[in-house]
Amino acid sequence: MRRHEFKPGRLVAGLFLTLTAVIYAGDAGGLWETPWFAVIPLVTAGLCLAALTGSAAHGIRRRIRSRAARAAGAASASTRDSAGTPG
């Protein structure tokens, strides 16, 4: 199985939508009474938090990649300088 990047924004969205499904399932099963409008703030907050989490993770991932690219570029430059080129 191929490895993939961890995407925490999708995890947060999935948790909030699963919570919404549990709330509606409890209402349908007669365990509690849920007003129809109660899940709108839950879904909206979950999607907003997922967007913030995804944006933060993307920024962190991009910063790590740029640092790795700079380190690889510096390593290859130092290898070229110490290759013994005549001066």
Q: Is the pTM of this model over 0.85?
A: no
pLDDT at 82: 63
What does the pLDDT look like over 56-87, one tens digit per residue? Answer: 999 999 998 888 888 888 877 777 666 655 55
Q: Where are the beta strands (DSSP E) in 1-81?
A: none
Do residues 9 and 50 lie in contact, with contact meaning Cβ atoms separated by under 8 Å?
yes
**H helices present in the chain, as ranges:** 8-28, 39-81
